[in-house]
Structure 1
Amino acid sequence: MASAVVIGASGGLGRALVGALALGGEHASVFALSRAGAALGDVVPEPVRYGCVDVTNEASIAAAAERVARCGPVGLVIVATGLLHQSGLVPEKAIRTLDPAAMATVFAVNTIGPALVAKHFLPLLPRSGRSVFAALSARVGSIDDNRLGGWYAYRASKAALNQILRTLSIEAKRTHPDAIVAGLHPGTVATGLSRPFRPDAGAPGLFTPEASAAHLLAVLDGLNPPDSGGVFAWDGQRIPA
């Protein structure tokens, strides 16, 4: 069996993905990589292997890929990192509030980070046989589906990520014809990322991390090589570019 890798395993959804993959028993190891690099609460300990990675530091990503490569083939990579807000950084309601430093920070995590993960982890996927490289995107990254405006940095970073995934899928077909590259929209998940913007607990359309992880893994299980390059919502529907 090949291994699975979750980048951003210390977040709410990342932890849930690690737990679901570990319980699924379909992977030789599940690498739970994050800046924390420590044991992740109640996640099943076997076959989880913990490690450090910082998606804003290419040397850290390269070192993590080297550690994973020593343990055999990799069949699944999920980048579960994301930045919407933090202290001193909030989504913009109008263009006049756009801050270049904040925008660069958002792009570093949401766009450049996953691209660098692909750079170093795509070579670990088998040249033949089904494999998956996926990254968490967002419906608000869709240009055609933008109805409300605002959130310039976050929307643009996810739109750019979607383009990177699409471009990666084209390149991957040349060397990994059975590989699937996909973006995933998890819906609104009860995690720290969505806390200031989500509906009350129990409201329709709000998922626990565990429910969202189950949805996303089911979506990935249903994808085939012709789907590569697309962005898919938690219910399997393709999101327009």
Structure 2
Amino acid sequence: MDSFPDGYRALVIGASGAIGGALVAALRDDPRCALVVGLDRHSQPVIDFAREESVAEAAAALAAQGPFQLIINAAGILHGAAFMPEKKLADLHYDQMLETFRVNTFGPALVLRHFSRLLDRQRSVLALLSAKVGSIEDNRLGGWYSYRASKAALNMLLKTAAIEVRRSNPGALLLALHPGTVNSRLSQPFRGAEIGRPPAVAAQQMLAVIDGLGAEASGQFHSWSGERLPW
């Protein structure tokens, strides 16, 4: 991570997941990284998108350890014990949509609100993991209603926040980042182990994209491969 100063500080939200854990491990292996904080529902401080107040509390608890040069939200949901992605309109119902938006959209929106204040004013990145299927322009297959919509909404929140943050912190880069298919619990029911990449590989690829982008790219949507994706 050569674009960050020696001794940079990093924070990963959703550290208990496959991608989040791999990002934490990769950053801890970087000798230039002085601090890596991983947050999840069991960490201290705790961050749980089902508890709105936990996001503000976690940010306040970590403020003294900042400023942070890198903050990544890797938390997300595609399916759960009670539901799978909707294939057709007849599958839509409130409970699934609310849970999907809570984790993929509302929680990250609060991360933008509370954690953008912790960003360094020289060179810093706040990246939210999004998904290519959240691209409205790229949607050719349909299906996966809640997941697609939650990521599209996340992209709009990120874009809007980038405009605001640029006014007070022009050195900050706010980025929507597509991790691609990764071997994880999220992708397991969808041939993830067959077509995905190991989490450690995906983490290195995404960190390389982050490392190669400057503040002028704030508010953009990029893939793990470095490709800029359409909204």
Q: Does the CA-based 8 Å contact 1:182-1:231 persist in structure 2?
A: yes
Per the alignment, residue 42 of structure 1 pairs with: none
Q: 1:116 to 1:199 in 2, by over 3 A?
A: closer
Q: Does the CA-based 8 Å contact 1:32-1:51 persist in structure 2?
A: no
Per the alignment, residue 160 of structure 1 pairs with: 153
Q: Identify which range, 229-238 or 18-27, moves more after superposition.
A: 18-27
* Higher helix fraction (1 or 2): 2
Task: Tell me the TM-score normalized by structure 1.
Answer: 0.90
2:74 corresponds to 1:80: yes
- Gaps in structure 2 of 5+ consecutive residues: 1-6
Count of residues in correspondence between the two structures = 225
State the 1:200 CA deviation: 4.7
Letter paired with 2:59: A
2:200 corresponds to 1:210: yes
State the 1:36 CA deviation: 2.2
Q: Identify which range, 192-201 or 163-172, moves more after superposition.
A: 192-201
Per the alignment, residue 3 of structure 2 pairs with: none
Distance in 2, matches of 1:67 and 1:198, equals 39
Q: CA RMSD in A?
A: 1.2
Q: 2:118 aligns with which of 120, 124, 127?
A: 124
Per the alignment, residue 13 of structure 1 pairs with: 19
Per the alignment, residue 41 of structure 1 pairs with: none
CA deviation map 1:94-149 (0-9, x unaligned): 001101111011000000100101111111112x3110000110000000000100
- 1:43-122 mapped onto 2 (5 Å cutoff): 51-122=45-116
Per the alignment, residue 164 of structure 2 pairs with: 171
Distance in 2, matches of 1:27 and 1:69, equals 18
Letter paired with 2:18: G
2:37 corresponds to 1:25: no
Task: Tell me the TM-score normalized by structure 2.
Answer: 0.94
- Gaps in structure 1 of 5+ consecutive residues: 38-49
SS at match of 2:125: strand
What fraction of aligned residue pairs are identical, expressed as a percent?
49
CA deviation map 1:140-168 (0-9, x unaligned): 00000001000000000000000011001
Letter paired with 1:216: M
SS at match of 2:142: coil
